[in-house]
């Protein structure tokens, strides 16, 4: 199961560049080579479980016992039904997942499941999904490794995961426990083999997880202190330290026992920011901390980028505001790297774009709050206005900085009170536990204790829950009336591509049903087909299944880690759940069999979700093909709009124009539908014109539809026949000629084109019906001349009967002698 | 002086229209006559022509009530009958003496048909006009000016040149279409949609032409044909050019690929106008009807906004703005405003229901909207069409002189007239005769009414060793003249086969 998945997970994130200026080359993100991005349950299993709304499952490994090993794994499972999976099904799913991923035997299990809330709230467009609720003895420290999708609480060694299973991490070994002490931050190396623990501002301890070797790296002089450290995939070094005196790059020494200094960049540093996604480190210096030295530590080595200064507004003439680290954010959207600087005085969010040889200010976004936060979800920039408790969505594409929709509050979805309640219910011995609801637990958005983790996580310290931000595409598309803009926005979405695709089609369908002006519909279709054409050209559409892995995890393949200290999550467990009867359709705790669940102590509960992916259809692109248009737009609306043929025709023509503009092949049934619409409105002249001008391209579907519609109109039928002939569908053509009574022509045609599949008896019957002895003789003559083996034809007896009745009917001497001759040769 | 100079002794052609329901009492015979050309023919002569015609119609009705009399072939004359509406007949009398006077009856009859259908398009049904004013003054004056204007198109010098054998590779009363690529066709269709959306929710029709070829339309076939005929006569850039330079609009050059230089005949338009002034029948002068003469020459011009304007339909009472032209649709009998927009070779005619637009203000608003929304697209379409347009000889096939008719859709295509003139007279006369035979055969098949078209295949070697070929396959007709061909029948068959495969999608390939 390892190799193909791992390969796809290692695909680089770079390579998509938009809006590249002519002079300055943009700065690419570094390639994520060597990064073991979090692994997910393999595709085969997901496929088996099926598509539909996802349902995250939390599983608890109860077999090991003890606090430290109380791990929780989360794997995204899907099921198509709205009802929750039954326990047996869950166990079955889990069994396969665990057996393949973790080699864990399932002797003791507690399973609970959360069904996502199906309700959509049009008044919000950003949703926080399924909080990760930490209820355990996590009293002081929680280290969240965003990239790997898990969190570690070192003091208790609780281990949280939401990014999927971690097959290549062994269970934390007991000796780790001994190392607990003063911990400032922990970082796993990119290959997850080493663990770096910052013990103090002067010392970092390294632990080899395989050999168990431990060594420490300390600062040489007391004057300098370590601001931070990062693992890197730069070929020249493995880890770099940011110290007050500068940047130091190290490689692992022989046998991984020590670090060797590779390079030093001397400069005085006040603070720094780094994201692994961009591989960019910004080093702030100066009194106001607004002068920046920036390096990119990419697969190409360390690149020194131009220094720059950030502009800051002054409140008074002499005041010198100092830029703080939390006011600067590095974001990566559409493969471009930006730096956002929050100017508190001017209330502006200035954006700077990084190019290889320049840093260019791109403009400013307005800010309506003193406290803001920035997240990036699926290349969409979210600016949280914490005080106003709203979020503004920007899609920074092609240098447009327009907000997508009006500022709206966050919506917490899937905040199941039962998640919290689980710790209590788990202790009970009853069979099916009642779903619990904590009415007094209020999740307030943008509380003071909210920590925003790059790129899309929110840690609510006060409640001990971790939220993942996701876009509510339905909400966004419902809240905007700018059809063209919203379609372009949807087409750029990768994370929920299938949903974006369905939404796009639904929008087009809706505007047609609402009989919006044709040019508006045409523009909408232009947008979608242009996106499709682009997807085809770039190959992302055809490689759906392969690219799914990387593109859906934009945020994950470039691992970014953050360390948060001093989080008190203990409060949440003290809150008592209240049972709310009847609230079981969405939030339900499904307990495993009673003998299993008692084994588990009710701590370290973690209910989380993996980043959402499109499991069932494996679509990486929201692109809509012409065939999709037929099946999702034209075919459904045709039935609803039977009375408005001319409007539908106009729409279809615009669709064809769009297709021909993008040089796309139109799905033949679309033409057939157009024929049907025109014929129903008896617009035969136009239909003829369309066929003649090849606006309706000839195909068998069209021919069949023409013949079908041609029952009312002979000319339309002829057009159908002509298409059959042009497409060399000889058999059908000959049959239809015979049917129309042109059997002599049919015979000639059949001879010329060597059509042997039409039964001779058909011709004879047709001739017989014409009651013209000459014709019958001609047909007979034809067959006796050109098909000597007529006797072998199984219908011969039938023919003979036919002939005899012919003889009887006509009593024509010439014909009789001919038939007698013929019959005698047949024997 | 005029069309019918007294010194010409006799007019070679007589054309009359009469109503069998009128003047049935002795002494009232004059009342029957709705129109007579030449108008200055003595009344007795007029009455004798009509009397003969009426007598023949009555007589033949005894045997064939549904289709009484079609033609009289006399030694020196040929009478062509056409019942335009119930009991209203048109009769055309042509002479046979002239060596050029070799006629094909169907071609002549199609002239009569064209007169009637155009008249109906502008003025409504004749019967309705007759009923509206039983004295007949209204219908007579309408018919008089209309038909005189119409006939002026046929005048060469002082004579009328009706379609004769030289036009046998030509089909009257058919559309000539531009062959466009798929992309251009979609673009045109998209333009049509755009124009329709400018009009709003009301049902409107449009016809798009390039030079004088039809590109696209959503009108019914009959309306298309009428409007197309009118557009070719008066609205297309070539027609406008002719009008502006006061050149005679010679019918001969009115085909698909007209040559400006071909229309060098000196005008007789002014002569016609003079003729009106001096020869107006006294009966017409007595009344003062508001006359609309849509076929009047040199009345259309292109305005600054790209729309074609004319004062034929009069001007507004309190402004100098000309009234918007109106026509009647054949099927729905709905009155429509006619708007024609022209950009270089492209002419777009838009028909908007009179009932849906509030007077001239509504029209000018509509024009404004079209200019705002669609003019750019029209520019693009024109560019695209003219890029794909092969010029006047675009549809010439070297070695062949052909005529292709699609009877189902009233569409024809022929060798360019400049190429047809290279044929010898013998070939053309022979072809005319062949076509006459085919017409007869077709009519017979129609009467047999077997429910399907007759397939005919004729190859004739004419005296001058040219091959004359006629092929009728399921409603489509192909006529060809091959001069300088080899003498075997196989050659003729091969040539037809090749032509059919290459230019007709194999429609005429029999085996």
Asked if B223 reaches chain A (Cβ–Cβ under 8 Å), the answer is: no
**Cα of A827 to nearest chain B Cα, Å:** 31
pLDDT of the residue at A60 = 31
pLDDT of the residue at A578 = 38
Q: What are the angstrom distances between the C-alpha of A38 and each of A189, A335, A460, A550?
A: 13, 20, 23, 11
Nearest to B452 by CA among A790, A740, A238, A194: A740
Q: Which residues of B touch A657 (CB under 8 A)?
A: 186-187, 189-190
Asked if B331 reaches chain A (Cβ–Cβ under 8 Å), the answer is: no
Say yes or no for a CB contact (<8 Å) between A685 and B221.
Answer: yes
Token look-up 């003439």 returns A317
Say yes or no for a CB contact (<8 Å) between A657 and B187.
Answer: yes
pLDDT per position as a tens digit, A382-410: 888 888 788 888 888 766 666 776 677 77
Contact A252, A242 (CB under 8 A): no
> Which comes out higher in pLDDT, residue B177 or A806?
B177
Residue A490, both tokens: 């949807």
In DSSP notation, A739-775 reads HTT-HHHHHHHHHHHT---S-HHHHHHHHHHHT-HHH
Residue A562 has pLDDT above 60, yes or no: no
**Long-range pairs of A797-802 with CB within 8 A, sequence gap ≥ 24:** A798/A761, A799/A760, A799/A761, A799/A764, A800/A826, A802/A761, A802/A764, A802/A765, A802/A768
Q: What are the angstrom distances between the C-alpha of B15 and each of A543, B78, B80, B499?
A: 76, 12, 10, 40
* Pairing, β A226-231 against β A214-218: unpaired
Counted across chains A and B, CB pairs separated by less than 8 A come out at 78
Residue A591 has pLDDT above 50, yes or no: no
Burial class of A385 by CB neighbour count within 10 A (0 to 12, 13 to 18, 19+)? buried
pLDDT per position as a tens digit, A249-291: 888 876 667 888 888 888 888 898 888 778 888 899 888 888 8
pLDDT of the residue at B216 = 92
Nearest to A279 by CA among A147, A373, A155, A380: A147
Asked if B221 reaches chain A (Cβ–Cβ under 8 Å), the answer is: yes
Region A785-803 average pLDDT: 60
- Of the ranges A212-216, A250-254, A776-780, B238-242, which is most confident? B238-242
Region A810-826 average pLDDT: 63
**Cα of B262 to nearest chain A Cα, Å:** 31
Task: Report the side by side order of strands in the sheet with A348-354.
Answer: A328-333, A336-343, A348-354, A359-366
Residue A434 has pLDDT above 50, yes or no: no
pLDDT confidence tier of residue A547, bands split at 50, 70 and 90:
very low
Which residues neighbour B494 within 8 Å (Cβ) at sequence distance 6 or greater?
Answer: none
Residue A602 has pLDDT above 60, yes or no: no
Which residues neighbour A304 within 8 Å (Cβ) at sequence distance 6 or greater?
Answer: A295
Strand partners, B208: B216, B348
Chain B: residue whose CA lies nearest to A652: B190
Determine the distance from the C-alpha atom of residue B311 to the mean position of all C-alpha atoms in its chain, rounded to a whole number. 23
| Contact residues of A toward B, CB < 8 A | 517-519, 522, 646, 650, 653-654, 656-657, 660, 683, 685-686, 688-690, 692-695, 697, 715, 718, 722, 725-726, 740-742, 745, 748-749, 751-752
Region A326-343 average pLDDT: 87
Burial class of A756 by CB neighbour count within 10 A (0 to 12, 13 to 18, 19+)? exposed
Half-sphere exposure of A753 (CA within 13 A, CB side): 21
Half-sphere exposure of A523 (CA within 13 A, CB side): 12
Half-sphere exposure of B391 (CA within 13 A, CB side): 3
pLDDT confidence tier of residue A494, bands split at 50, 70 and 90:
confident
Other beta carbons within 10 angstroms of residue B90's beta carbon come to 25
Among A310-324, A343-357, B216-230, name the one with the lowest average pLDDT.
A310-324
Contact A748, B511 (CB under 8 A): yes
Mutation pick from A512, A648, A652, A653 vs chain B, by most beta carbons of B within 10 Å, is: A653
The complex's ipTM works out to 0.87
Among A203-212, A222-231, A459-468, A715-724, name the one with the lowest average pLDDT.
A459-468
Rounded Cα distance between B260 and B241, Å, is 9
Rounded Cα distance between B216 and B350, Å, is 12
Among A530-534, A662-666, B261-265, B305-309, name the one with the lowest average pLDDT.
B261-265
Chain B: residue whose CA lies nearest to A686: B218
Contact B251, B299 (CB under 8 A): no
pLDDT confidence tier of residue A824, bands split at 50, 70 and 90:
low
Nearest to A455 by CA among A376, A381, A382: A376
Rounded Cα distance between A629 and A636, Å, is 10
Bond into A455 cis (ω within 30):
yes
Which 8-state DSSP code applies to residue B232? I
pLDDT confidence tier of residue A40, bands split at 50, 70 and 90:
very low
Rounded Cα distance between A323 and A340, Å, is 12
Q: If contacts are CB pairs under 8 Å, which of residues 189-208 in chain B contact chain A?
A: 189-190, 193-194, 196-197, 203
Say yes or no for a CB contact (<8 Å) between A685 and B216.
Answer: no
Chain B: residue whose CA lies nearest to A678: B218
Q: Which residues of A touch B221 (CB under 8 A)?
A: 685
> Which comes out higher in pLDDT, residue A316 or A240?
A240
pLDDT of the residue at B213 = 93
Angle between helices A700-709 and A714-726 (to 10 degrees): 160
Chain A: residue whose CA lies nearest to B180: A693
Mean pLDDT across chain A: 65
**Cα of B188 to nearest chain A Cα, Å:** 10
Contact A90, A35 (CB under 8 A): no
Asked if B409 reaches chain A (Cβ–Cβ under 8 Å), the answer is: yes
pLDDT of the residue at B318 = 66
Nearest to A611 by CA among A547, A652, A556: A556
Chain A: residue whose CA lies nearest to B456: A745
Nearest to A94 by CA among A139, A55, A133: A55
In DSSP notation, A429-462 reads --SSPPPEE-TT----TT-TTEEEETTTEEEETT
Say yes or no for a CB contact (<8 Å) between B510 and A745.
Answer: yes
Q: Which residues of A touch B507 (CB under 8 A)?
A: 722
Token look-up 């998509």 returns A16
- Segment holding B469, helix H or strand E: strand B467-473
Q: Which residues of A touch B376 (CB under 8 A)?
A: none
Say yes or no for a CB contact (<8 Å) between B197 and A519.
Answer: yes
Q: If contacts are CB pairs under 8 Å, which of residues 160-179 in chain B contact chain A?
A: 177
Rounded Cα distance between A806 and B432, Å, is 43
pTM for this predicted structure: 0.74
Q: If you count them, how many residues does chain B have?
A: 511
Region A686-694 average pLDDT: 90
Which 8-state DSSP code applies to residue A539? T
Residue A222, both tokens: 């007391």
* Pairing, β A410-413 against β A126-133: parallel
Asked if B455 reaches chain A (Cβ–Cβ under 8 Å), the answer is: yes
Say yes or no for a CB contact (<8 Å) between B511 and A740.
Answer: no
Rounded Cα distance between A705 and A674, Å, is 10
Chain B: residue whose CA lies nearest to A715: B408
Which residues neighbour A339 within 8 Å (Cβ) at sequence distance 6 or greater?
Answer: A282, A328, A329, A330, A331, A351, A352, A353, A354, A359
pLDDT of the residue at A594 = 31
- Of the ranges A148-157, A597-606, A644-653, A733-742, which is most confident? A644-653
Mean pLDDT by runs of 10 across the 511 residues of chain B is 42 87 85 89 91 92 88 90 93 87 90 94 91 87 91 82 88 90 91 86 86 90 92 89 61 39 36 46 53 85 88 73 85 88 92 83 88 90 90 88 90 92 92 92 78 80 91 90 86 90 82 55
> Which comes out higher in pLDDT, residue A107 or A787?
A787
Residue A613 has pLDDT above 60, yes or no: no
Residue A39 has pLDDT above 70, yes or no: no
Nearest to A501 by CA among A553, A541, A551, A456: A541
Task: Report the side by side order of strands in the sheet with A271-275.
Answer: A271-275, A280-285, A291-298, A301-309
Region A617-644 average pLDDT: 80
Other beta carbons within 10 angstroms of residue A267's beta carbon come to 14
Determine the distance from the C-alpha atom of residue A79 to the mean position of all C-alpha atoms in its chain, rounded to a whole number. 17
Residue A55 has pLDDT above 60, yes or no: no
Asked if B494 reaches chain A (Cβ–Cβ under 8 Å), the answer is: no
Contact A234, A297 (CB under 8 A): yes
Q: Percent of chain A, pLDDT > 90?
A: 7
Region A457-473 average pLDDT: 71
**Cα of A579 to nearest chain B Cα, Å:** 59
Say yes or no for a CB contact (<8 Å) between B409 and A741.
Answer: no
Q: Which residues of B touch A726 (CB under 8 A)?
A: 505-506
Asked if B493 reaches chain A (Cβ–Cβ under 8 Å), the answer is: no
pLDDT per position as a tens digit, A122-143: 344 555 544 344 433 333 344 4
């Amino acid at each position: 199961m390892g190799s193909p998945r791992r390969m796809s997970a290692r695909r680089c994130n770079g390579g998509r560049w938009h809006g590249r200026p002519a002079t300055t080359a943009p700065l690419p993100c570094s390639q994520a080579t060597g990064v073991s991005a979090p692994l997910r349950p393999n595709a085969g299993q997901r496929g088996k479980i099926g598509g539909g709304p996802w349902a995250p499952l939390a599983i608890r490994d109860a077999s090991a016992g003890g606090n430290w090993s109380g791990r929780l794994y989360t794997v995204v499972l899907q099921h198509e039904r709205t009802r929750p999976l039954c326990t047996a099904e869950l166990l079955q799913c889990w069994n396969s997942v665990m057996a393949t991923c973790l080699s864990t035997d399932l002797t003791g299990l507690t399973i609970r499941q959360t069904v996502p809330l199906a309700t959509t709230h049009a008044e919000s467009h950003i949703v926080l999904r399924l909080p990760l609720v930490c209820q355990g003895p996590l009293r002081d420290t929680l280290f969240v490794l965003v990239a790997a999708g898990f969190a570690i609480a070192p003091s208790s060694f609780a281990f949280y995961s939401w990014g999927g299973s971690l097959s290549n991490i062994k269970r934390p070994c007991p000796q780790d426990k001994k190392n607990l002490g003063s911990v400032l931050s922990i970082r796993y190396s990119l290959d997850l083999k080493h663990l770096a623990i910052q013990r103090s501002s002067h010392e970092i301890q390294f632990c080899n997880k395989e050999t168990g070797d431990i060594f420490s790296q300390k600062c040489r002089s007391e004057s300098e202190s370590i601001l931070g450290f990062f693992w890197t995939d730069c070929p020249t070094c493995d880890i770099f330290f940011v110290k007050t005196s500068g940047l130091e790059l190290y490689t692992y020494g022989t046998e991984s026992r020590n670090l060797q200094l590779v390079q030093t960049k001397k400069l005085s540093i006040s603070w720094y920011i780094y994201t692994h996604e961009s591989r960019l480190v910004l080093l702030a210096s100066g009194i106001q901390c607004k002068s920046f030295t920036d390096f990119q530590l990419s697969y190409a080595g360390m690149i020194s980028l131009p220094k720059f200064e950030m502009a800051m507004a002054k409140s008074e003439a002499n005041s010198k505001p100092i830029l703080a680290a939390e006011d600067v954010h590095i974001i990566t959207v559409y493969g471009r790297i930006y730096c956002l600087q929050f100017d508190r005085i001017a209330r502006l969010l200035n954006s700077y774009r990084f190019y290889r040889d320049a840093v260019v200010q791109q403009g400013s976004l307005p800010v309506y709050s003193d406290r803001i936060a920035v997240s990036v979800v699926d290349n969409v920039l979210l600016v949280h206005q914490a005080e106003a408790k709203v979020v503004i969505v920007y899609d920074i594409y092609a240098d447009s900085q327009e907000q997508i929709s009006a500022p709206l509050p966050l919506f917490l979805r899937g905040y199941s009170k039962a998640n919290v309640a689980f710790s209590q219910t788990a202790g009970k011995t009853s069979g099916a536990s009642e779903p619990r609801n904590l009415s007094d637990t209020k999740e307030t958005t943008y509380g003071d204790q909210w920590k925003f983790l790059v790129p899309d996580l929110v840690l609510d310290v006060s409640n001990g829950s971790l939220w993942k931000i996701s876009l509510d595409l339905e909400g966004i598309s419902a809240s905007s009336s700018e059809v063209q803009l919203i379609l372009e926005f949807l087409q750029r979405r990768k994370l929920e591509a299938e949903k974006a695709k369905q939404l796009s089609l639904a929008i087009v369908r809706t505007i047609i049903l609402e009989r919006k002006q044709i040019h508006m519909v045409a523009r909408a279709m232009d947008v979608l087909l242009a996106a499709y054409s682009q997807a085809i050209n770039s190959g992302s559409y055809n490689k759906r299944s392969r690219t799914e892995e990387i593109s859906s995890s934009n945020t994950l393949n470039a691992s970014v880690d953050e360390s948060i200290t001093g989080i008190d999550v203990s409060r949440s467990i003290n809150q008592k759940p209240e049972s709310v009867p009847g609230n079981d359709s969405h939030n339900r705790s499904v307990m495993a069999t009673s003998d299993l669940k008692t084994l588990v102590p009710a701590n370290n509960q973690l209910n989380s979700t993996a980043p959402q992916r499109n499991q069932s259809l494996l679509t990486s692109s929201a692109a809509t093909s012409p065939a999709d248009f037929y099946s999702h737009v034209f075919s459904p609306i045709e039935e609803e709009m039977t009375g408005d043929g001319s409007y539908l025709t106009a729409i279809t023509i615009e669709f064809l124009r769009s297709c021909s503009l993008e040089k796309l092949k139109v799905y033949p049934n679309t033409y057939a539908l157009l024929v049907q619409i025109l014929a129903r409105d008896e617009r035969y002249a136009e239909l003829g014109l369309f066929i003649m001008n090849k606006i309706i391209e000839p195909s068998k579907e069209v021919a069949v539809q023409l013949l079908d519609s041609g029952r009312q109109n002979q000319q339309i039928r002829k057009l159908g026949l002509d298409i059959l002939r042009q497409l060399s569908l000889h058999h059908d053509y000959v049959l239809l000629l015979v049917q129309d009574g042109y059997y002599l022509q049919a015979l000639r045609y059949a001879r010329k084109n060597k059509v042997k599949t039409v039964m001779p008896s058909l011709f004879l019957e047709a001739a017989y019906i014409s009651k013209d002895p000459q014709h019958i003789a001609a047909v007979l003559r034809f067959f006796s001349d050109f098909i000597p083996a007529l006797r072998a034809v199984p219908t011969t007896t039938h023919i003979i009967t036919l002939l005899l009745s012919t003889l009887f009917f006509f009593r024509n001497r010439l014909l009789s002698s001919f038939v007698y001759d013929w019959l005698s040769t047949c024997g | 002086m005029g069309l019918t100079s007294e010194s010409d002794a006799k007019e070679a052609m007589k054309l009359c229209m009469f109503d069998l329901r009128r003047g049935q009492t002795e002494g009232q015979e004059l009342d029957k006559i709705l129109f007579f050309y030449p108008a200055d023919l003595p009344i007795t002569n007029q009455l004798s022509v009509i009397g003969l015609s009426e007598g023949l119609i009555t007589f033949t009705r005894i045997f064939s009530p549904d289709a009484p009399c079609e033609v009289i072939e006399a030694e020196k004359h040929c009478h062509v009958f056409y019942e335009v509406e119930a009991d209203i007949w048109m009769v055309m009398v042509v002479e046979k003496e002239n060596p050029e006077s070799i006629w094909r009856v169907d071609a002549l009859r199609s002239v009569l048909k064209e007169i009637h259908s155009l008249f109906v398009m502008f003025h409504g049904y004749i019967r309705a006009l007759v009923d509206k004013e039983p004295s007949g003054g209204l219908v007579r004056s309408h018919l008089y000016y209309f038909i005189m204007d119409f006939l002026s198109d046929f005048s060469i010098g002082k004579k009328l040149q009706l379609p004769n054998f030289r036009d046998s590779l030509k089909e009257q009363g058919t559309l000539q279409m531009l062959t466009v690529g798929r992309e251009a066709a979609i673009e045109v269709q998209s333009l049509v949609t755009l124009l329709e959306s400018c009009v709003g929710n009301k049902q409107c029709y449009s016809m798009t032409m390039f030079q004088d070829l039809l590109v696209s339309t959503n009108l019914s076939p009959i309306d298309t044909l009428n409007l197309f005929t009118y557009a070719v006569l008066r609205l297309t850039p070539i027609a406008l050019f002719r009008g502006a330079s006061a050149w005679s609009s010679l019918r001969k050059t009115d085909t698909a690929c007209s040559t400006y230089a071909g229309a060098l005949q000196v005008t007789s338009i002014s002569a016609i106008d003079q003729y009106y002034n001096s020869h107006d029948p006294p009966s017409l002068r007595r009344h003062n009807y508001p006359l609309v003469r849509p076929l009047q020459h040199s009345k259309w011009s292109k305005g600054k906004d790209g729309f074609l304007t004319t004062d034929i339909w009069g001007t507004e009472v309190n402004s100098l703005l000309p009234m918007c032209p109106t026509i009647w649709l054949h099927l729905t009998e709905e009155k429509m405003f006619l708007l024609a927009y022209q950009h270089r070779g492209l002419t777009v005619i838009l028909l908007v229901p009179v009932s849906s637009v509030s007077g001239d203000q509504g029209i000018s608003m509509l024009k404004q909207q079209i200019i705002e929304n669609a003019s750019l697209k029209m520019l693009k379409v024109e560019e695209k069409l003219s890029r794909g347009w092969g010029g006047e000889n675009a549809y010439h096939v070297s070695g062949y002189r052909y005529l292709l008719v699609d009877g189902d859709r009233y569409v024809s295509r022929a060798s360019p007239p400049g190429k047809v003139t290279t044929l010898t007279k013998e070939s053309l006369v022979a072809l005319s005769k062949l076509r006459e035979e085919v017409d007869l055969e077709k009519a017979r098949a129609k009467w047999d009414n077997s429910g399907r078209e007759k397939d005919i295949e004729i190859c004739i070697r004419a005296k001058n060793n040219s091959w004359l070929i006629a092929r009728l396959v399921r409603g489509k007709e192909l006529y060809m003249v091959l001069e300088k061909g080899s003498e075997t029948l196989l050659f003729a068959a091969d040539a037809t086969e090749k032509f059919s495969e290459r230019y007709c999608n194999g429609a005429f390939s029999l085996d």
